[in-house]
Chains A and B, each alone.
Chain A
Amino acid sequence: QKEVEQDPGPLSVPEGAIVSLNCTYSNSAFQYFMWYRQYSRKGPELLMYTYSSGNKEDGRFTAQVDKSSKYISLFIRDSQPSDSATYLCAILNRDDKIIFGKGTRLHILP
């Protein structure tokens, strides 16, 4: 089983909708969970990191971790065309290395 799994999409939603992006992970010992945004042909940009369970909010973005089901989510409120990108979930494993999901391609339709 891969350490982190993510549906590659693509996911298309209309402008203004709430977007939900999700990943699952394999090891309940993981404590740090990250979301990155990557525009085409650019480097990944750290959106936020979360420690352990719970929610973390930053503007229109909310990251959520459910350790009981080993599920991590990113919600985007009031989605904008500029949010169109690939979103990568990631975990910090026991070797102190970041393991990324494959990324979900998101398209916000004007």
Chain B
Amino acid sequence: DTGVSQNPRHKITKRGQNVTFRCDPISEHNRLYWYRQTLGQGPEFLTYFQNEAQLEKSRLLSDRFSAERPKGSFSTLEIQRTEQGDSAMYLCASSASGRSYEQYFGPGTRLTVT
């Protein structure tokens, strides 16, 4: 098992463009989480999945953000019409069900919106 992976590692885009990030969790983990982290802050929860079901979305997640986990394996996070305020590190984590306290993070995707 190679841990949680995320692609791309870095994305530079112009304001107004759409971007999509991918996360591959640890294979036996059925929970998958998305977080956003800005400079000098801890990660902030965005949304999470139990298998393919999206169970909760933070109010931080505006209508321009959408996440999917179609077959309960990898997940994608899409941001439409990007804004400069979307510039951040987007982190994915996974855990086994019932062990939310034991989340393992991927390396993150750093988004820069110019």
A binding-site residues for B, Cβ under 8 Å: 6, 8, 32, 34, 36, 41-46, 49, 51, 88, 90, 92, 95-103
Instruction: Decide yes or no: A102 and B41 within 8 Å by CB, A44-B91, A97-B100 being known contacts.
Output: yes
- Kindly state whether residue B22 has any CB partner on chain A within 8 Å: no
Instruction: Decide yes or no: A103 and B42 within 8 Å by CB, A43-B91, A44-B91 being known contacts.
Output: yes
A96 to B101, CA, bound (A): 8
- Kindly state whether residue B102 has any CB partner on chain A within 8 Å: yes
What secondary structure prevails in chain A residues at the interface with B?
Answer: strand
A88 to B105, CA, bound (A): 13
Query: Which chain B residues border A51 with CB–CB below 8 Å?
Result: 101
Chain A nearest CB, measured from B112 CB (Å):
12
CB nearest to A50 among chain B residues: B101
Chain A nearest CB, measured from B37 CB (Å):
8
Instruction: Decide yes or no: A45 and B105 within 8 Å by CB, A98-B45, A102-B40 being known contacts.
Output: yes
Chain A nearest CB, measured from B110 CB (Å):
7
A-contact bits for B40-72, CB 8 A (1 contact / 0 none): 111111001000000010000000000000000
B110 touches A88 (CB 8 A): no
Query: Which chain B residues border A34 with CB–CB below 8 Å?
Result: 101
A43 to B109, CA, bound (A): 9
A36 to B35, CA, bound (A): 15
CB nearest to A41 among chain B residues: B110
Query: Which chain A residues border B4 with CB–CB below 8 Å?
Result: 43
Chain B nearest CB, measured from A38 CB (Å):
9
Chain B nearest CB, measured from A2 CB (Å):
10
A42 touches B101 (CB 8 A): no
A96 touches B43 (CB 8 A): no
Instruction: Decide yes or no: A98 and B103 within 8 Å by CB, A8-B40, A88-B42, A90-B42 being known contacts.
Output: yes
A42 to B89, CA, bound (A): 9
